[in-house]
Chains A and B, each alone.
Chain A
Amino acid sequence: MTTLTDADLDSNLVDLTTVSLEELRVLHTPGLVSALQRTYAAAAFNTGNELQQQQQ
């Protein structure tokens, strides 16, 4: 298998590159709400200190 199908992709993906920031601040679609919940869940583990390092 070397081709991704829609089923393989995260079915909850939302494309926010086409939504203006002004609109994004007040958007409340079910898809966005789910995506926000996933973001909060991930934020519990992602500290911002995760590094990939290649050492000598």
Chain B
Amino acid sequence: MFEQFCTGVVDADTMAVLEKSQYSHRRLAFRALLDQFAANPHVVGALVDPERAWRILAAAEERDSDAVADVLMYPTVGVWLTRALHHTRPASSSPTWGELGYLHLIAAAAAIRCGVPCTLRVPASHGAITLPTVGQARVPGSFPVGTVEAICAGPNSRLQITKDVHVDLATTSPAFTPSERYTCQSRGLVLRAWFEDRDPYRGFGAPMPPSTLADSALAEWRKLVAEAWDVLTLHHQPHARELAAGLRTLVPIRPDSDVVGASSPSAFGGIGLSANGSAAEIAEAMVHELQHSKLNALLGLVKLVQDEETRCYAPWRDDSRPLVGLLHGVVAFTSGVEFWLTQRDVMEEAEGHGVDFDMAFRRLQVRRAVRFLLNSGKLTNVGSALVAAVSRRLLVCEQVSVVPELAAIVTAMVDDHRALWRLRFIRPDANVIDSLADAWLSGTTPSVPATADNKLLPDDQRRLPANRRNLLRAKAVEPDLFASLMSRPATLPGTTPRADAALCLGDGDGAAAAYRAVLCDDPYDAQAWVGLGLAMRIRRRTAAATALLIRPEITVSAYRRVRLLDETQPDPREFADWVGRAL
């Protein structure tokens, strides 16, 4: 199984093993939750009856264990379960009936599917009652949370709203929408997954109100997913077969979101997909997100990292990530790079340019992360074997060359992001900074230790500035847009528009001078410091570029220290060059 996992694609048998292990974890979590409820009855509230819900589930399982497994393995059930376990721990504040009552919805769904006769009160949230894998009923009113009776009687099941009003859970009932199995078929391969746009936990987090996506937006989404499946079955059959085996639900993401794909460690087989992109991009997002599910399942079986505390830099994220998060990115993005490598051979030449960019950009990001993981000393033997296997797959992708100009652009983008991240989150050892400042002021040779007692600052919600990277990307894949932007550099966003324009046009001297001018006024401008590093590289001033791109936090902190201690203002370029020669 592990050998197959390392290749990037698993077959239906291996997927079944992963799924079974996840099901075992889910049953364990349900048992843990019931014990937690029993030990802390005050968090449960008067409306929830956990033991009765369990008995109904057990009775349903006796009749049809596959149907119960289908309900319990439903991805939104996993999200709810993880949340419930977290929020009902001792000393936690009690969740509402609307949240905990979902347990009754799970039990009712199983009872209806398995024909277990029973009556169970269930929560109505924002006028909707959602029974996982069964469907959703809308009831009059939009009160945040209410209660109705679910009368479970197989095909004659209904929701009793008041004494005189009920909703039949039948396809003929206008107030009831049965859960939908979304099915695509292409070249004999069938993708069958629950289509989920109603469940409160479909966003893989806190409960959400019912979907407000317009029918037209949903129609567009369905069309694009069908086209994506066609792309997968035509050119990526192993991945198509893997998706056919492992995908459980597809959740449409709102078209105004900048998220292309989403998944959750709590929701094996659940994927959120946006329709913002081409069919190929959506196909790649499906492949990518399923890798997360597979890796989450593997992590439930075997330990891959020895350190769950340390947070580190991930080239594709603006915040810091735990090692296991970095591992997730490495595994998922490598499959994406392989996808584009295959795809570029079958695309039109005009599209191919964008594909070359995506492939070159991602493979460089992943290579940097792979190198970090392999040198971290914090992987288990199995984790090291997995990353080494990914590294070998990446090596194959790296054999495909791109034009030197594109390679330079993606290198600049990856270095830009990394240096901005270090300036935001790394606080260097104060002794190193003092020593460097003293050396500069006394005219002695500086010394910078290879390792120092750096401090990683906590995450904040701010994104790293992306203005320059967006410009570089436009240069690579949207030449008309880039030309238009370059025709009016003063209107570019950010604190260094003219310098960024000069840099993107390859004018290293002009860019360096412009960044220097900004820094003389504001030595705290991170964009300008990193831009200066990129400009110095164009000018082949290697030492200065190294100081500003590899260890920017040291260079910039020491520069600011010198300015505090001395009235003279060193030239940032000369100072960076001086530090760089000591690295």
Give every chain B residue within 8 A of A46 (Cβ-Cβ): 82, 85-86, 265-266
A2 to B86, CA, bound (A): 35
Check if B79 sits within 8 Å of A48, measured CB to CB.
yes
CB of B44 to closest CB in A, whole Å: 16
Give every chain B residue within 8 A of A52 (Cβ-Cβ): 262-265, 289, 292, 328, 332
Give every chain B residue within 8 A of A49 (Cβ-Cβ): 83, 204-206
CB of B238 to closest CB in A, whole Å: 18
Q: Mark B377-402, 1 if CB is under 8 A from A, else 0.
A: 00011101100010000000000000
B13-68 interface with A by 8 A CB criterion: 20-21, 23-24, 27-29, 31-32, 34-36, 54, 57-58, 61-62, 68
A17 and B86 contact, Cβ closer than 8 Å, known pairs A36-B32, A54-B262: no
A20 to B62, CA, bound (A): 8
Q: Mark A41-56, 1 if CB is under 8 A from B, else 0.
A: 0011011111111111
The CB with the most chain A CB atoms within 10 A, among B32, B57, B276, B381, is that of B32
Check if A48 sits within 8 Å of B58, measured CB to CB.
no
Give every chain B residue within 8 A of A4 (Cβ-Cβ): 1-2, 302, 382
Size category of the A interface is 35 or more
Give every chain B residue within 8 A of A50 (Cβ-Cβ): 204, 264-266
Q: Mark A8-32, 1 if CB is under 8 A from B, else 0.
A: 1110011111011110110100001
B301 at interface (Cβ–Cβ under 8 A)? Answer: yes
A50 to B559, CA, bound (A): 39
Task: Given contact pairs A36-B32, A40-B89, enumerate 15 new A-B contacts (beta carbons under 8 Å).
Answer: A3-B2, A4-B1, A4-B382, A20-B61, A21-B54, A22-B61, A25-B34, A44-B86, A46-B85, A47-B82, A47-B86, A48-B205, A50-B264, A53-B259, A54-B288
Residues of B within 8 A of A (CB): 1-3, 6, 20-21, 23-24, 27-29, 31-32, 34-36, 54, 57-58, 61-62, 68, 79-87, 89, 204-206, 258-266, 276-277, 285, 288-289, 292, 301-303, 328, 332, 380-382, 384-385, 389
Residues of A within 8 A of B (CB): 1-4, 8-10, 13-17, 19-22, 24-25, 27, 32, 35-36, 39-40, 43-44, 46-56
